[in-house]
Homo-oligomer: A and B are copies of this chain.
Amino acid sequence: MTRAYVVGAGQTPFGAFPDESYRSLFQQAYEAALESTGDRVDAIDVDEAVIGTLGVGGRQLGLSGPAVTEHVGLDGVPCSRIENACAAGGFAVRQAIQAVESGMADLVVAGGYEMMTDMGSDRTKYWLGVSGETEWERLTGTTFAGVYAQMASAYLEQYDVDTEALSRVAVKNHANGAKNPNAHLGFTCSLEDAEGGAPVADPLSLYHCCPTSDGAAVVLIASEKFVSAYDGDAVAVLGVGAGSDSVGLADRDTYTAIPASERAARTAYERAKVTPEALDLAEVHDCFAIAELLAYEDLGFCDRGAAPSLLEAGETDLDGSLPVNPSGGLKSKGHPIGATGTGQVVEVFKQLTGRAGDRQVADATRALTHNVGGSGGAAVVHIFERGGRA
């Protein structure tokens, strides 16, 4: 089996961009990805494109993959749109890796985009709700904050911790995001700020929730053959894993774990032949603060129930033993659905090639990304390694 590599990665800032369109954002990210190769890669090299987007916002709803690739001059190139709610981007990267490892392509554009702020907040709420389970969540009026609040309630009760455990996620991720020029909410917050936010869905308050963002991110996935004749940076894909689960939270056996993430991580570690101890950093799916705590446990960073103490001890800080969300995460960097999972890989590419500026993790060799769809109906995990050429 041929190994896959990341040879370029670029993104727009995440934020609210009323003067941009989904196409112009995708173009910026695509051009940034090409530029990141030192212009060693050109459109002519691209064999395939995979585009992750939820895209239920009144724009191009069918063929929303080709709609952006034609805009950047990639028309003709095989293009698919992939959707797995908030994990659309991560699954686009996975599919691009499959395309390369199958031998069908030597260079694949894995992209993601979303425009979320160009409609009223009520419509955004509805729009996001389409990824919730239909009959028992969406049609009963349960938002995603409401679903994750149920998980948070269960967790706080099961392990007898209070909301400070959630607020520390916000403090850490905002501290990191403040060092990321692409962050949507690039400001710091104190524990008092985070504890004092307006209620959203009890026990989640404002600082426990990520923003809705516009943005796009593009990653270039290449084959061994391509990389053997390439003199730019190449980050190896060590392992990939994915899992699914019932779409509705109420149908699952547990509220205090995301089984799809556990399965995805187990497969990725097995294929990469590494354990969590081998990681130098991770970008995890912190759409709500509780999700980052669950991720520590689902991904094997600590035992069940130990996430709050791992966080409080500073182990996941930028200078800790395993920095988590050096980009600022969904919480501070932002969460433009389809761009989130590809954006995580952009951060990893920067970190593993020494381009992460003020938030650079020292001596970063191995990194993990973790992207979740809905409240855990789908999850995908990737493990990458600097250099690592065959």
Q: Please measure, in the bound complex, the distance between the C-alpha atom of A81 and the C-alpha atom of B60, giving whole angstroms.
A: 17
Residues of B within 8 A of A69 (CB): 244
A82 and B82 in contact (CB under 8 A), knowing A56-B61, A247-B60?
A: yes
The stretch that binds B, out of A34-42, A98-106, A165-173, A362-370, is A98-106
Encode A344-382 as 1/0 by CB contact (under 8 A) with B: 000000000000000000000000000001100110100
- From A375, which residue of chain B is reached at the shortest CB distance? B63
For the complex formed, measure the closest distance between the CB of A197 and the CB atoms of chain B, giving whole angstroms. 27
A59 touches B134 (CB 8 A): yes
A378 touches B244 (CB 8 A): no
Q: With contacts A63-B374, A65-B244, A70-B246 known, what are 10 further pairs, Cβ within 8 A?
A: A60-B134, A63-B247, A66-B378, A67-B247, A76-B260, A78-B242, A78-B380, A81-B84, A82-B82, A101-B101
A70 touches B104 (CB 8 A): no
A62 touches B374 (CB 8 A): yes
Residues of B within 8 A of A378 (CB): 63, 65-66, 78-80
**Total copies of the chain:** 2
Listed residue (A61, A67, A69, A95) with the most chain B CB atoms within 10 angstroms of its CB: A61
Encode A99-117 as 1/0 by CB contact (under 8 A) with B: 1111110000000000000
Residues of B within 8 A of A264 (CB): 78
Q: Please measure, in the bound complex, the distance between the C-alpha atom of A48 and the C-alpha atom of B79, giving whole angstroms.
A: 21
Residues of B within 8 A of A380 (CB): 78
For the complex formed, measure the closest distance between the CB of A162 and the CB atoms of chain B, giving whole angstroms. 32
CB interface residues, A 28-68, toward B, < 8 Å: 48-49, 54, 56, 59-67
Q: Is A259 an interface residue (CB 8 A)?
A: yes
Residues of B within 8 A of A152 (CB): none
Taking a contact as CB atoms closer than 8 A, the residue among B102, B131, B245 that contacts A62 in the complex is B131
For the complex formed, measure the closest distance between the CB of A78 and the CB atoms of chain B, giving whole angstroms. 4
A80 touches B91 (CB 8 A): yes
Chain A to chain B contacts (Cβ below 8 Å), 21 pairs: A1-B102, A56-B61, A56-B62, A60-B133, A60-B247, A62-B374, A63-B131, A64-B83, A65-B84, A65-B378, A66-B246, A66-B373, A67-B247, A69-B244, A70-B244, A76-B263, A77-B243, A80-B94, A83-B83, A101-B103, A102-B102
Q: Could you tell me how many residues of chain A have their Cβ less than 8 Å away from some Cβ of chain B?
A: 62
Residues of B within 8 A of A281 (CB): none
A244 touches B60 (CB 8 A): no
Q: Please measure, in the bound complex, the distance between the C-alpha atom of A271 and the C-alpha atom of B245, giving whole angstroms.
A: 36
Q: Is A251 an interface residue (CB 8 A)?
A: yes
For the complex formed, measure the closest distance between the CB of A268 and the CB atoms of chain B, giving whole angstroms. 11
A84 and B80 in contact (CB under 8 A), knowing A62-B374, A101-B104, A102-B97?
A: yes
A76 touches B245 (CB 8 A): yes
Residues of B within 8 A of A133 (CB): 60, 67
Residues of B within 8 A of A282 (CB): none
B81 touches A243 (CB 8 A): no
Q: Is A284 an interface residue (CB 8 A)?
A: no
Q: Is A216 an interface residue (CB 8 A)?
A: no
Residues of B within 8 A of A100 (CB): 102
For the complex formed, measure the closest distance between the CB of A55 and the CB atoms of chain B, giving whole angstroms. 9
A80 touches B102 (CB 8 A): no
